[in-house]
Amino acid sequence: MERESARLKALRDDLEGRLKARFPALIVNGNPTSRLPHILNVCFDTGTLPMEGEMLVPGLDLLGIAVTSGSACTSGSMQPSHVLSAMGRDSDSARSAIRFSFGMSNSEGDIDRVVKGVEDVVGKARRRD
């Protein structure tokens, strides 16, 4: 279990680093050092990059990338997560949150595909504005 946790943490950290490098407006939700190794929850600083998680989810789904919006405690709700709000996120940024989960079948190649997918979906959203 320790080995798998370390592998998942490495995948999570790789995705986080690559997304942050590509999207400076990305905010990581959660404690930087004490969080689950298989979950990455991020949102966008919507003052810098207007974005909604509910827009990202279907776009990524069409690319075969399964994510959820918000936080686990508000899954399925259109309201911003009270947890993310309590962490200081404004309601628009909290609504832009998406959650990535990693498991035994994920690999480094999946990270490449996810980064490309997020770039494509965000790029399309920017062109619509």
Q: Which of 48, 58, 73, 112 is catalytic?
A: 73
- Phi, psi of 89, rounded to the nearest 5 degrees: -80, 135
Cα distances from 9 to residues 21, 27, 72, 99, in angstroms, run: 18, 18, 19, 15
Give yes or no: 73 in active site: yes
Catalytic annotation, residues: 73
